[in-house]
Structures are given as structure tokens and as C-alpha cells.
Amino acid sequence: MNTTRRLTAIALTLILLLSAFGGTASAASSTATPAPEASAMPEADLSYLNGQFRVGMECAYAPNNWQESEASETNVPIEDMPGAYAEGYDVQIARIIADQLGLELVVVKMEWEGLIEALNQGRIDAIIAGMADTETRKEAINFSTPYHESVYALMVNAGTPYENATSLADFNGASVLGQKDTALDWVIDQIEGVNHLPAVGSVPDMIARLQQGTCDAIVINLENFPGYQAANPNFVAISFPEGEGLDPGFRGACVGLRKSDNALLDCVNYVLASVDQEQRDELWETALNNQPV
């Protein structure tokens, strides 16, 4: 493997981890800028939530969210799944919001494709799952200010023709895989001449396909790479100069809420504004260090 290439990828990742954040995520910036903090929590009648903040997520997208089998001081029981607990960066953001709103956090595990429908049907009150505020999704639901931004990259296996790639053009003819119904799939068409493989349902599925060699590359959030490489040292992250890589075209990972929940949206934005960059970085680094390998 090209040692220089690996060191460059790792160095860039460490820089991002130290400077990025507040997603399955905006390529335009690696630093989230919280909205100005209000002087007081906005007034809102949240009695219709019946004392709960029901949050939907996959529990299968580490380090954002994953499932554990033992209770801890920071994880949260998953509804209707005895002995199962949700942990990760999204879970900690959800805990902060629920705590400041004086609500009990309830985590509901569900498939990614069903999150927006479940929200609009009232089965959950919010989506906190690394979901980005794409134009299409904004037609269906509201989004908070971003609580996380990231850079997109491609991940390949060492020893392949793509481990020393330096531009998107180097992936002309490559078979590239993404996650269904996410920008991790949509951005693949930005690569000229790419063999855009049918998307799979989750990031773990993508990783398994890359390990099996049934694709040449997968699209990832670059700040997630250290965890992926810890599980498989053969993985190599290919990143690109700003403006020359994959552009998802949205602000970042946000809290998804119903169109009718404007008062709740104001409260959520207030809470997110109170979470400064240092705290976000600490939560993210903790999630990276504790995610399952």
C-alpha cells in the first residue's frame, strides 16, 4: 500500500475531527456554526408530546447511532426491544434536546426508508439519524439547524488500482456503491464514466460488499473513516481538494420534524445553539472511540 497516501488520508481525517462538526453532512464546510443562542427557551406548548420525545433512527450507522446489548450511563433503551440499547453521537444529541425540553427520550429503531413516513404519521416526534436536509426531503418535513457537517470521500481496498487515486476522474469505469435513499448514493453520478451499482440498504451492507470485492469503492463520510479502518486496516480513504470532490448539495445532518411542529422546531434550534463546538467535538470523538468494531 502507498504509505504516503495512507498518511495523507489519516492526517486529513484527524484535522477534520479536530476542527469539524456539529451524517449518513455538507461538503462545503467541515465546521458547523450553531445559530446565535437565544436569551431564553422559546415559549411553546409541548403538552401534545405527552411528556416524551420519540426519536427515530436506524441504530445501525456508527458512530452516529448503533445498538448495544448492555445498559450504560449514556445509552438509551430501544422501544419494544428488551435488552437492546441505542448509543452514538445522534443519541447524545437527542438526550441533550430531550433533557432541555424536560421530556423523556424514547428511541424507536426503524429502517431508514421509513423514517419520514413514521414522522408524518405521528409514530415518532423527530428524526435524529444523521439525516441531511436535501431539497426533496424539505418538501416533506422541516429541518433544524445542522448539528453535524462532514466531507464526502470514497473508500477503497488497498492493493487495488484505485488506492492512489487523486481525482474523481481516476474512478472512470469503477464500480461504486452507495446507500439507498441517501446522498451517499446520489453523488455517485457526479463521477464521469462510473459504473453506478444498485444501492444497498445500509452502510454496513456497503462495507461488507467492499470487503467481498464486489465493488471498487463506496461513498463514505470522511470523519467516519478511522472507525472503518480500525475494523479493516486494508481500507483506504480517498479524499479530494475542496471543490473538486463529491458535492451532496445540502447543509448537513439536522433534526427532522413535522411541518406543523414550528414551535418544537424553535425549541430544538435553541437547544442546538447551546451546544458549543467543543462539546460537539467531544461527543463525536467519544462516539468514534466507543463505536463497535
Residues 106, 78: Cα–Cα separation, whole Å: 7
Of all residues in the chain, the percent with pLDDT exceeding 90 is: 78
pLDDT of residue 227: 86
Over residues 135-145, mean pLDDT: 96
Mean pLDDT of 268-288: 96
* Per-residue pLDDT at 224: 87
User: Which regions of the chain carry the CATH code 3.40.190.10?
Assistant: 3-22+152-238, 47-148+251-286
pLDDT in tens, 190-228: 999 999 999 999 999 999 999 999 999 999 999 889 889
Q: Residue 138 pLDDT more than 50?
A: yes
Q: Output the pLDDT for position 149.
A: 85
Asked if the model's pLDDT at residue 150 lies above 90, the reply is: no
* Tens-digit pLDDT profile for residues 48-64: 999 999 999 999 999 99
Of the segments 16-20, 95-99, 132-136, which one has the largest average pLDDT value?
95-99
Q: Determine whether domain 3-22+152-238 maps to CATH 3.40.190.10.
A: yes
Pair 218, 180: CB distance under 8 Å:
no
Residue 8 has pLDDT above 50, yes or no: no
Read off the pLDDT band of 146 (50, 70, 90).
very high
pLDDT at 20 over 60: no
Task: Specify the pLDDT at position 19.
Answer: 37
Which pLDDT does position 97 carry in this prediction? 98
**62 exposure class (CB count in 10 Å sphere: 0-12, 13-18, 19+):** buried
Q: Residue 44 contacts by C-beta under 8 Å, 6 or more apart in sequence? A: 263, 264, 266, 267
CATH of domain 47-148+251-286: 3.40.190.10
Locate 128 and state its grid cell.
435524529
Average pLDDT, the chain: 88
